Amino acid sequence: MFYYFPDNYMWSSAFNLALMAGGSLGEMHRWLAPLRDGEPEPEAWGKAWAGMAGQQEEQAEKDLQAGLRRSAGLRYLRASVYHASGERQIAPGPEKTASYRAALDAFEKAVELAPLNVERIEVPSPDGVLPGYLIPARTAEPAPVVIFYGGFDVTKEILYGFVEEEFVRRGITCLVMDSPGVGEPLRLRNVPSRPDYEVPTGAVIDYLETRADVDADRIGVMGISLGGYYAPRSAAFEPRIKACAAWGGIWDWGATWEKRWATRSKTVSVPWFQLPWVMGTDTMEAGLERVRQWTLVDVLPKLTQPLLIVHGENDRQVAVEDAHKAYEAAGSADKTLRIFTVAEGGAEHCQTDEPDPARQLIADWFAQRFGTLPAQS
């Protein structure tokens, strides 16, 4: 992995994640270089990313004054990535909320000005409204759709940056979602995660079935990082899902967290506050107790749809052995395990070190299952 911050996995992984979502190396380096030496200071981290985003927003307004709407929109898109990247490391509170709202506002301006091929949708569910962005395929006929879930700390705006129009180019609509424990439900309404993710997924599918532009017989689900639990769990109990991809294999996430906490692991993506916050508990101890429910050990044998698991050989957040266990346990007749190696690149958690081969692989895999190849431009 590229350690932009020497000996600091958390900050370096966040740096790589921002690049993966569409950040600019030069812009990021200009603001983050002063933080590379010395002890990490969370306050300095938030200020650097806010300054980075603010500079792009200022430049975007100048572009608008010159009549350059698309240029302004793309600057706002990067500003959204920068606001979100800073927010991930800030503990829950007013500063975090302000940073998150700034990311939402910048993304909304990018959608309007660039413009982006997205439609904001809101799904009624037992957990309240679940917001998402539909990235519609450019086809005359109803298109297959892939629901894309984030995981422990990635929101729908960042998910958009991960895939943009790769599914669209293959004739597939993609729906990037904020769901329980993620994005707006967690940050604006304090809705924690839940182990039975087939419940929100069922609500999303109910919504998709009302759309004339969606082929309800070809609905897939994928998830990145902890989404590698959400997607297979959903598919195992929701027969309307026809294909499932885990961008990062999960086996027993509770056991993973017990090990992380016991060793005070240095290879976590965000500070320790994240677990009790996502779990909806007041203490770390309660969070560790609740997270034991997030296991696929007894779930994966029930999954029978086509399954793709993509993992990194050198994943230091979730052991590669977990991906192998998940693959072996899955009940699918059509199942694929793709391990990216150190030699070829993409060996880190969710391929943040070299994401494009994994992104293309996943989109192609769904296109093959849904019969939308050859690729469309």
Tokens 């599914």 sit on residue: 167
**In Å, how far from its chain's centre is CA 198?**
18
The residues annotated as belonging to the active site are 225
Peptide bond before residue 374 is cis, with ω within 30 degrees of 0: yes
As a whole number of angstroms, the distance between CA 80 and CA 101 comes to 10
DSSP state of 341: P
The answer to whether 146 and 169 have CB atoms below 8 angstroms apart is: no
Q: Give dist(CA 92, CA 99) in Å, integer.
A: 11
User: 212 φ, ψ to 5°?
Assistant: -70, -20
Q: Beta strand pairing status for 119-123 and 130-135?
A: antiparallel
Strands ordered across the beta sheet of 307-312: 119-123, 130-135, 173-177, 143-149, 214-224, 241-247, 307-312, 335-340
| 3 state DSSP class of 338 | strand
Give the separation between CA 248 and CA 322, rounded to whole angstroms.
9
Residues, the chain, total? 377
Alpha helices in the chain (DSSP H): 9-20, 25-32, 42-65, 69-87, 94-113, 156-163, 183-189, 198-208, 227-237, 253-263, 274-279, 284-290, 320-329, 356-370
Name, in order, each residue with C-beta under 8 angstroms of 332's C-beta and a sequence gap of 6 or more: 303, 304, 305, 306, 307
